Amino acid sequence: MRNTKEQILLTALELFAREGFDAVSVRDIAAALGLSKGALYRHYQSKREIFESILRRMERRDAQQARDRDLPEETAEQTPAAYQGASLDDIAAFSKDMFRYWTEDPFASRFRRLLTLEQFRNAEMGALYQQYLAAGPLEYLRDLFSAQGLARPQEEAALFYGQMFLLYSVYDGSENRQAATELADRLIDGLRDRLQRLQNEERRKEP
């Protein structure tokens, strides 16, 4: 097979995302690919190395995506000025993209579920879960909303990202995933409109 190493990584991710790292055996991965266990060890030194390759792959994808959008990669140190270019419309559109990315992209949706399953096992996994899926996006949106001149960026960010974050789980458990995606779009639009009204009020007060 030509692309065996890649197939191993993708198949392992698929299984890890459903069962968790420990519950998946090297035999399971090999069987899902129609290979012998030995063949896997031609491409990876250990089961752990497959897992770590998945982590590195996600890092690469994330860095690439940040470069594509040329948004600041480290939110913590940035001044709000760095976000001034974006509008609430941009933020809403960006959020819809993110929702689709974490639910529909084959790699990202599985990686999200993998992180969900591994988040309590050690500090590193917990930090990655926070960074990619919980406190990270929340703080990022808080900074964006702060740069938008909204009076209570923390609260608005929790509302905005909270409903998205909840819908990831609703999506995962839903029989009609398209409906979940449409609901996400509707909720994002609804909150965007509300924030725009708030923003207009703010600007009327302090121009």
Partner DNA sequence: ATGTGTAGTAAACGAGCGTTTACTTTTTGG
Partner DNA sequence: CCAAAAAGTAAACGCTCGTTTACTACACAT
Interface residues with a copy of itself (CB under 8 A) are 17-23, 113, 116-117, 119-121, 126-127, 129-130, 133-135, 138, 152, 154-155, 158-159, 161-167, 169-170, 172-174, 183, 186-187, 190-191
Give the nearest distance from C-beta 27 to DNA in angstroms.
Answer: 4
- Residue 170 interface partner, choices a copy of itself, DNA, none, CB cut-off 5-8 Å depending on type: a copy of itself
Which of 114, 140, 119 shows the shortest CA–CA distance to 129?
119
Q: Is residue 120 within 8 Å of residue 126, measured between CB atoms?
A: yes
- Residue 152 interface partner, choices DNA, a copy of itself, none, CB cut-off 5-8 Å depending on type: a copy of itself
Angle CA(75)–CA(78)–CA(83) in degrees, nearest 5? 85
Quickly tell me which residue has 């084959």 as its tokens: 106
* Closer residue to a copy of itself in complex, CB, 9/184: 184
Which of 119, 128, 108 shows the shortest CA–CA distance to 10?
108
Chain centre distance of CA 76 = 18
Contact pick of 10, 32, 41, 62 for DNA (by CB under 7 A): 41
* Closer residue to a copy of itself in complex, CB, 71/170: 170
- Contact between 10 and DNA (CB under 7 A)? no
The count of C-alpha atoms lying within 13 angstroms of the C-alpha of 67, restricted to the half-sphere facing its C-beta, is: 6
Give the nearest distance from C-beta 36 to a copy of itself in angstroms.
Answer: 24
Phi, psi of 20 (to 5 degrees): 90, 155
Q: Is residue 100 within 8 Å of residue 164, measured between CB atoms?
A: no
Two tokens at 125?
């996994």
Contact pick of 25, 64, 79, 84 for DNA (by CB under 7 A): 25
Residues 6+ apart with CB under 8 A from 199: 88, 148, 149, 150
- Contact between 46 and DNA (CB under 7 A)? yes
Give the nearest distance from C-beta 64 to DNA in angstroms.
Answer: 25
- Contact between 24 and DNA (CB under 7 A)? yes
Give the nearest distance from C-beta 117 to DNA in angstroms.
Answer: 15
- Contact between 57 and DNA (CB under 7 A)? no
